[in-house]
């Protein structure tokens, strides 16, 4: 039960007073429930919190809020009562999602349970100028990509042609709380994996990795080597990293960093990026991030990644 679930894959619970898994409308729950982090749980929420994937009732572990001083190590777990309801958030090691047939996979795309990504926008699309002084990114919608053959059949070797999206990390961040439990298929990926399981913490990275992956990191320091910085100079952005790594940097140009809202005031914020980890000086980093390949995570979602 609870013990084997201490993997903390349930990032938030739906809370709706009076709702019940037995007979309750799932769409009503999704529309009306509050999203609660394990650290936000209080005793009066007992029997009012539900799994965002299988909708069965959850418990907070430990139940007693005062057990830990700040709720940092608290997590949500399923109840044994609903053991027969399958939910892959119960498992320690997530498996990729597979589909029985094309119709099932297409339905998952239509329902936005599955997102097939065929690429990230390399350049900023033509868009109205952002008002001066406003650093929020101009919202850019996903662009529809080609039908893409993805190997997501339950039977080995079976693949389906599904509609894909050319997206941005900013787009993934925009409704991050909803996206976090969706399945994503990234370019050249073998499986569709929940976003929560695709995100790698930079603090756990100790070696190079040539396969592009999705990473998140906390900005530790921002500086520029140029004396009179120009838009094409690099805004050195250092991220919190493993103690065995000298430093971990991304180096967007000042111009692009500005468009992304990454400024000297962004220290402590979370940045999400898609790329390969390479040596950078004596440390590590992700180089040549293109426009759509990194973004600041809106503050309201930080609690879903950083506890
Ligand atoms: Zn569940």
Residue-wise pLDDT for 90-102, tens only, equals: 887 777 899 999 9
**What is the Å distance from ligand 1's center to 87 Cα?**
5
Q: Which of the four pLDDT bands, split at 50, 70 and 90, describes residue 4?
A: low
CA of 143 to the centre of ligand 1 (A): 32
Confirm if 301 and 176 have CB atoms less than 8 A apart: yes
Cis check for the bond before 154: say yes or no (omega within 30 of 0): no
Q: Would you state the pLDDT for residue 67? A: 55
How many angstroms does the Cα of residue 62 sit away from the middle of ligand 1?
18
Closest CA to 238 of 202, 292, 199: 202
Read off the tokens for 73: 């190590």
Tell me, in angstroms, the distance from the centre of ligand 1 to residue 4's CA. Answer: 14
What pLDDT does residue 5 have?
61
Ligand 1 centroid to Cα of residue 85, in Å, is 8
Q: Which part of the chain is CATH 2.40.50.140?
A: 199-305
Ligand 1 centre to CA of 110 (Å) is 22
Ligand 1 center to residue 109 CA distance, Å? 20
Alpha carbon of 88 to ligand 1 centroid (Å): 7
Share of the chain above pLDDT 90, in %: 73
Cα(64) to centroid(ligand 1), Å: 22
Q: How far apart are CA 24 and CA 29, in angstroms?
A: 8
pLDDT digits (tens, 9 = 90+) for 158-203: 999 999 999 999 999 999 999 999 999 999 888 999 999 999 999 9
Rounded-to-integer distance, Cα 93 and Cα 90, Å: 9
CATH class as words, domain 199-305 = mainly beta
Which pLDDT value is given to residue 69? 55
Poorest-confidence range of 7-11, 13-17, 61-65? 61-65
What spacing in Å lies between the alpha carbon of 78 and ligand 1's midpoint?
Answer: 6
And the tokens for 227? 């004396």
How much distance in Å is there from the Cα of 122 to the middle of ligand 1? 36
Q: pLDDT tens, 69-79?
A: 555 678 899 99
Q: Are 273 and 215 in contact (CB under 8 A)?
A: yes
What distance in angstroms lies between residue 82's CA and the mean position of ligand 1's atoms? 9
| Strand runs labelled E in the chain | 13-15, 34-36, 49-50, 58-61, 75-78, 114-120, 143-150, 160-167, 183-185, 193-194, 199-201, 209-223, 236-239, 248-250, 270-280, 283-286, 294-296
Please give the distance, rounded to the nearest whole angstrom, from the Cα atom of residue 141 to the centre of ligand 1.
Answer: 30
């Amino acid at each position: 039960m609870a013990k084997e679930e201490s993997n903390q894959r349930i990032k938030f619970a739906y809370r709706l007073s009076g709702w019940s898994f037995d007979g309750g409308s799932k769409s009503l729950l999704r529309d009306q429930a509050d999203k609660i982090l394990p650290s936000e749980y209080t005793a009066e929420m007992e029997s009012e919190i539900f799994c965002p994937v299988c909708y069965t009732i959850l418990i907070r572990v430990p139940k007693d809020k005062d057990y830990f001083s700040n709720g940092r190590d608290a997590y949500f777990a399923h109840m044994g009562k609903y053991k027969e309801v399958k939910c892959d958030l119960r498992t320690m090691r997530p498996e990729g999602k597979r589909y029985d047939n094309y119709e099932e996979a297409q339905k998952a795309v239509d329902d936005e349970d599955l997102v097939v990504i065929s690429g990230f926008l390399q350049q900023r699309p033509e868009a109205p100028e952002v008002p001066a002084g406003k650093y929020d990114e101009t919202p850019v919608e996903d662009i529809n990509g080609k039908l893409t053959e993805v190997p997501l059949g339950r039977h080995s070797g079976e693949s389906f042609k599904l509609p894909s999206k050319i997206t941005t990390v900013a787009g993934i961040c925009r409704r991050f709380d909803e996206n976090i439990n969706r399945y994503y298929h990234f370019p050249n990926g073998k499986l569709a994996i929940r976003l929560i399981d695709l995100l790698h913490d930079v603090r756990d990275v100790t070696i190079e990795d040539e396969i592009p992956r999705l990473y998140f990191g906390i900005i530790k320091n921002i500086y520029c080597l140029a004396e009179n910085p120009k838009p094409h100079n690099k805004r050195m952005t250092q991220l919190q990293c493993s103690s065995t790594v000298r430093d971990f940097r991304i180096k967007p140009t000042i111009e692009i960093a500005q468009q992304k809202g990454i400024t000297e005031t962004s220290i402590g914020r979370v940045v999400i990026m898609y790329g390969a980890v390479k040596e950078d000086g004596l440390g590590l980093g992700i180089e040549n991030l293109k426009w759509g390949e990194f973004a600041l995570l809106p503050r309201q979602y930080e609690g879903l990644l950083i506890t």
